């Protein structure tokens, strides 16, 4: 009898990795992601299965917590086929090479410090290298299209549905036949909400004998998107009108593109004061170009901008700072700038350079548009730090600090329930991708409101389908 074991994203949000074993094959892995935050140390652990036993990897989308261990999987013996949307693999190339590069640089830095103290034997090797990342793209890659079934074997079929989360995000619908019985298991992947600036609403699915569903925000709803957009607009207008600069620490994928689309709409609606908008992140620039290549996977709002002038995101005020010297030149602009730079939580990247030059000025504003994890510089600022240590200097925080919570690529509780409710035939639900306390609340809500059987998946637990 077929069974699934989850080796990540169990009672935690990251590390997505679900292994489906069929009696007659193939062995299918859905996602192979990085553990992040408090569980980051688990990323380097050996796999709890033999990578050589995996025949096919299916990818729901390109975020690091869904693809980040793919190079490690290949390094340790996987030599099968990867199936994903072409847009997912384009973004995956950017993310995996960036991840490998950071790992290599961190290793070299740690090794240099350890050699000075004679402790180089205790420095762990990077989880994988850029060569390992390249090996992923040397595999056989089969490109999927939304809503077009792919016959993996004579008895196994997979269909990718738009999950509305980020570019290329998919809900994976697997149908297989064993001993004369046909069964369907659905992996939601990360689901977007019903209203989004760039992505369409998630596609509905009608049948599943087993539904593996994310539960990241299963305990609450987000602030209405339009309220957040209105507040963001006003903060930008007020700061620029007062001869200040707006600093936006941003994540390279999805959040950056949302902000660019918002600014472009403001420009064409004559709401944006004359200014210079700098996208100061090589990774975000590459991701934005990839988004622009796949307009058919975006919503009507994004396509309206494309039809207006031939680009989803570009407009007269926008400038790309690809090279480091381009980033440095931004310092010459005393006021009237909007600077979008990584990293989103201010743990590194070019945003730190801009903080050094502008955080002390009371006319400036910092707008955070994503959750700031405890222990990050971003969290310090959101929590009201009066000064920070940066590049061996004390920088006073006089700029206004704003946290906007309504920009989220994840569905909230109401959107998750509405999506589940569209199933015409639904067996049991299995909760993954959520903190334990959130899952407990979501489980209760599903039982009380939808009256469906639901189970919280444990690590490596065998669930027979």
Share of the chain above pLDDT 90, in %: 87
pTM for this model (two decimals): 0.94
Measure CA 46 to chain center. Answer: 24
The vertex-405 CA angle with 352 and 377, nearest 5°, equals 25
Cβ contact 21:2 at 8 Å: yes
CA angle 221, 194, 267 (to 5 degrees): 100
Q: For the chain, what is the total number of helices (H) and then of strands (E)?
A: 13, 22
Is pLDDT above 90 for 208?
yes
pLDDT grade for 194, boundaries at 50, 70 and 90: confident
Whole-number average pLDDT of the chain: 95
For residues 202-231, average pLDDT: 96
- The lowest-confidence range among 117-131, 134-148, 253-267, 402-416 is 117-131
Nearest to 71 by CA among 48, 101, 49, 105: 101
pLDDT of residue 157: 97
Q: What local confidence, expressed as pLDDT, does residue 195 receive?
A: 86
In whole angstroms, how far apart are CA 203 and each of 73, 172, 407? 30, 11, 20
Alpha-carbon span 253 to 192, nearest angstrom: 14
The 10s digit of each residue's pLDDT in 421-464 is 999 999 999 999 999 999 999 999 999 999 999 999 999 999 99
Could you tell me the pLDDT band of residue 179, with boundaries at 50, 70 and 90? confident
Q: pLDDT at position 371, please?
A: 77
The pLDDT tens digits for 63-81 are: 999 999 999 999 999 999 9
The answer, yes or no, to whether residue 117 has pLDDT greater than 90, is no
- Look at residue 314 and tell me whether its pLDDT is greater than 90: yes
User: What is the C-alpha separation between 271 and 457, in angstroms, rounded?
Assistant: 48
Peptide bond between residue 188 and the one before it cis (omega within 30 degrees of 0): no
The alpha carbon of 190 is separated from its chain's Cα centroid by a whole number of angstroms, namely 9
With cut-offs at 50, 70 and 90, classify the pLDDT of residue 419. Answer: very high
Is a pLDDT exceeding 90 seen at residue 297? yes
From the list 280, 254, 287, 284, the residue with the least C-alpha distance to 352 is 280
The token pair that represents 145 in the structure block: 């299209």
**Which band of pLDDT confidence, cut at 50, 70 and 90, is reported for residue 375?**
confident
Find the mean pLDDT for residues 181-203: 95
- Cα–Cα dist 232/402, whole Å: 9
pLDDT band at 112 (very low <50, low <70, confident <90, very high): confident
- CA–CA dist 263, 256 (Å, integer): 11
The model's pLDDT over 14-65, given as tens digits with 9 standing for 90+, comes to: 999 999 999 888 999 999 999 987 888 899 999 999 999 999 999 999 999 9
Q: Which SS3 state, helix, strand or coil, does residue 45 take?
A: coil
What are the beta bridge partners of residue 157? 151, 175
DSSP-derived secondary structure letter, 26 = -
What's residue 397's pLDDT? 98
pLDDT of residue 373: 72
Q: In what order do the strands lie in the sheet with 56-58?
A: 140-144, 81-85, 56-58, 27-30, 18-21, 3-6, 463-464
Q: Strands, DSSP E only, in 220-332?
A: 246-249, 276-280, 318-320
Share of the chain above pLDDT 70, in %: 100
Exposed, middle or buried: residue 79 (CB in 10 Å: 0-12, 13-18, 19+)?
Answer: middle
Q: What is the 3-state secondary structure (H, E, C) of 33-101?
A: CCCCHHHHHHHHCCCCCCHHHCCEEECCCCCHHHHCCHHHHHHCCCCCEEEEEHHHHHHHHHHHHHHHH
Per-residue pLDDT of 327-361, as tens digits, reads 999 999 999 999 999 988 898 899 999 999 999 99
Average pLDDT of 107-131? 85
Ordered domains of the chain (ranges, CATH):
3-220+409-464 (3.60.15.10), 225-403 (3.40.50.10890)
Predicted local confidence at residue 154, as pLDDT: 94
- pLDDT over 90 at 196, yes or no: no
Q: Please tell me the predicted confidence (pLDDT) of residue 74.
A: 97
pLDDT of 1: 84
Is the model's pLDDT at 264 over the cut of 90?
yes
CB 198 within 8 A of CB 302: yes
Largest CA-CA distance found in the chain, in angstroms, rounded: 72
- Taking Cα atoms as reference points, which of 134, 292, 148, 317 lies closest to residue 236? 317
Give SS3 for 51: helix
CA distance linking residue 127 with residue 110, whole number of Å? 14
Give the number of C-alpha atoms closer than 13 A to the C-alpha of residue 266, restricted to the C-beta side: 23
162 in Cβ contact with 170 (< 8 Å): yes
pLDDT at site 106:
85
| pLDDT reading at 288 higher than 80 | yes
């Amino acid at each position: 009898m077929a069974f699934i074991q989850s080796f990540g994203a169990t009672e935690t949000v990251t590390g997505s990795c679900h292994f489906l074993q069929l009696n007659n094959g193939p062995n299918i892995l859905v996602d192979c992601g990085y553990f992040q935050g408090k569980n980051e140390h688990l990323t380097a652990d050996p796999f709890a299965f033999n990578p050589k036993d995996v025949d096919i990897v299916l990818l729901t989308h390109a975020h690091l917590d869904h693809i980040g261990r793919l190079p490690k999987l290949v390094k340790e013996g996987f030599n099968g086929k990867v199936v994903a949307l072409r847009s997912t693999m384009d973004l995956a190339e950017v993310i995996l090479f960036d991840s490998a590069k950071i790992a290599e640089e961190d290793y070299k830095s740690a090794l240099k410090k350890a050699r000075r103290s004679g402790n180089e034997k205790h420095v762990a090797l990077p989880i994988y290298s850029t060569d390992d990342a390249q090996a992923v793209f040397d595999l056989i890659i089969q490109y999927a299209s939304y809503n077009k079934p792919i016959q993996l074997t004579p008895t196994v079929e997979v269909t990718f549905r738009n999950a509305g989360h980020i570019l290329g995000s998919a809900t994976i619908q697997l149908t297989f036949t064993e001993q004369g019985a046909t069964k369907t298991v659905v992996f939601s992947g990360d689901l977007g909400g019903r209203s989004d600036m760039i992505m369409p609403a998630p596609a509905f699915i009608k049948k599943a004998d087993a539904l593996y569903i994310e539960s990241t925000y299963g305990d609450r709803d987000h602030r209405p998107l339009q309220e957040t957009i209105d507040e963001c607009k006003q903060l930008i207008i007020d700061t620029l009108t007062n001869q200040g600069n707006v600093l936006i620490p941003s994540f390279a994928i999805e959040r950056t593109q949302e902000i660019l689309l918002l600014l472009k709409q403001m420009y064409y609606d004559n709401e944006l004061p004359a200014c210079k908008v700098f996208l100061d992140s090589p990774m975000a620039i590459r991701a934005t170009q990839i988004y622009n290549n796949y307009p058919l996977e975006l919503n009507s709002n994004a396509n309206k901008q494309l039809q207006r002038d031939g680009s989803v995101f570009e407009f007269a005020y926008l400038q790309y700072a690809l090279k480091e010297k381009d980033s440095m030149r931004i310092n010459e602009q005393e006021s009237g700038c909007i600077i979008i730079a990584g990293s989103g939580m201010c743990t590194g990247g070019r945003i730190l350079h801009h903080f050094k030059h502008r955080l002390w000025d009371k006319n400036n504003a910092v707008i955070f548009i994503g959750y700031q994890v405890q222990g990050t510089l971003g969290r310090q600022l959101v929590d009201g730090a009066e000064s920070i240590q940066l590049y061996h200097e004390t920088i006073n925080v006089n700029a206004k600090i704003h946290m906007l919570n309504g920009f989220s690529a994840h569905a909230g509780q109401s959107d998750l329930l509405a999506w589940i409710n569209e199933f015409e035939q639904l067996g049991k639900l299995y909760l993954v991708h959520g903190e334990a306390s959130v899952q407990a609340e979501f489980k209760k809500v599903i039982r009380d409101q939808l009256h469906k059987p639901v189970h919280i998946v444990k690590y490596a637990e065998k669930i027979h389908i």
